Amino acid sequence: MTIIKRILLSLIFKSGIYHFFHFLSRHKITILYAHSIIDADTSTSWKPLRSQHIAQELAFTLDVLKEKYTFISLSTALKILQKEHEPISNALVITLDDGYLNNLTIGAPIFAHFGISPTIFIATEHSQHNRPFWFDRLDYALQQMTDENFHTSIQGETFVFDCQSRKKLQQSYAAFRRKIKACFKSDVAMREYLNKVCQQIEKKTGKALSQIIADDPYATLANWQQLKSAEKNLGFEIGSHTLNHARLGLVDNHTVSDELSKSKIELENKLAIHCDSFCYPDNSYNGYAVETASRYYKSALTTDIGLNALNCNLMTLKRLNLPTGINPLKILYAISALRMTLFF
């Protein structure tokens, strides 16, 4: 954060502007999301290039947020939004995408300390087989490279991964993810391409994430028994994240229906629960996906930025990334109604 932004942030809070907007939006519901949660002292042979939520910072963030917000479950939030429950001032929901086991082993004790019942969204085929997501698989594969560069072709255009340092590889990896999401208009075609790229690197290095995922603190996924225990004993609510983490806006209608319906059936059968919530992987959805989701679920969550007001569309609920760090003002501003207005 630049010095100018720090000064502006300080003025916003000292002037009372933040508190004014916070009061005006008190009946809107804030929904936050996170993915992997890792202890700062975790020591392994690799570390994901994607940012992780650090447990110690997460605890600090929640301690800051509890002074301004009331933590509620997603199911309670839905009742409020449908006017089946009295409004709760400055209500806040925590959600967790992808179903990483560390959400339970590391995150659960932190959430329990603050009385939080988070919702964890599960891509059932991945959890069933502890199959790594492509972004983790590729991340791990690239970090096993000993060459300074790795070349691949994206629809006829050469892309170069700079493997000379972690920072350069991190930048290349982020650029690659943006590139393929822009280039591929078919989720199936993108997955087939990524599988070939990963296989090429894994063959070259002789190493694959699948070989270590059973004990890996970053990529391993919670199994059915662990999820059932989290739902029964840890206060977790469980929602669907499709079968295969499919981008629903980029698959055919039949696949949309399968991904939405079969994942719900699988979760309900394996966990003996009612699965009423859904989360769009990679924030990919279209009109058909939204309409189809409404047949199976009471709510569906996006990562569209914003807060949720009474009578909003429950099939396109907005969320914000769960902030972390050591600056309380920055944390509060990051998810504030004022930020939704100013966007800086």
Task: Tell me which of 38-52, 221-235, 276-290, 316-330 is least confident.
Answer: 38-52
pLDDT value of position 320 = 97
Domains along the sequence of the chain with CATH: 21-130+220-342 (3.20.20.370), 145-206 (no CATH)
Q: Is 298 left (phi over 0), alpha (psi -120 to 50) or beta?
A: alpha
Binning pLDDT at 50, 70 and 90, where does residue 43 land?
Answer: confident
pLDDT value of position 97 = 98
> What are the CA-CA distances from residue 87 to residues 82, 117, 128, 133 (Å)?
10, 18, 38, 38
Q: How, if at all, do strands 149-154 and 157-162 pair? A: antiparallel
* DSSP strands (E only) in 155-261: 157-162, 237-240
pLDDT value of position 343 = 60
State the average pLDDT over residues 181-187.
93
> Whole-angstrom Cα distance, residue 116 to residue 103?
13
Mean pLDDT of all residues belonging to the chain:
95
Q: Is pLDDT at 78 greater than 80 in this prediction?
A: yes
**Three-state SS at 237:** strand
Q: Is pLDDT at 61 greater than 70 in this prediction?
A: yes
pLDDT value of position 128 = 96
**Environment class of 292 (CB within 10 Å of its CB; exposed 0-12, middle 13-18, buried 19+):** buried
Binning pLDDT at 50, 70 and 90, where does residue 305 land?
Answer: very high
Q: How, if at all, do strands 299-301 and 277-279 pair? A: parallel
At which residue do the structure tokens 């691949």 appear? Answer: 152
One-letter amino acid at 88 equals I
pLDDT value of position 312 = 95
Task: Indicate the helix (H) or strand (E) that contains 320.
Answer: strand 320-321
Find all residues with CB under 8 Å of 164, minimum gap 6, and list them: 148, 149
State the average pLDDT over residues 129-149.
95
Q: What b/e readout covers 259-281, taking b as 16+ CB neighbours within 10 angstroms? A: bbbbbbebbeebbebebbbbbbb
pLDDT value of position 1 = 57
Q: Is pLDDT at 245 greater than 80 in this prediction?
A: yes
> Whole-angstrom Cα distance, residue 150 to residue 248?
30
> Whole-angstrom Cα distance, residue 1 to residue 147?
35
Q: Is pLDDT at 344 greater than 80 in this prediction?
A: no
Binning pLDDT at 50, 70 and 90, where does residue 160 land?
Answer: very high
Q: Is pLDDT at 117 greater than 60 in this prediction?
A: yes
Strand partners, 308: 29
φ, ψ at 110 (rounded to 5°) = -70, -45
pLDDT value of position 7 = 85
Q: What's the pTM?
A: 0.95
pLDDT value of position 215 = 93
The better pLDDT of the pair 330, 7 is held by 330
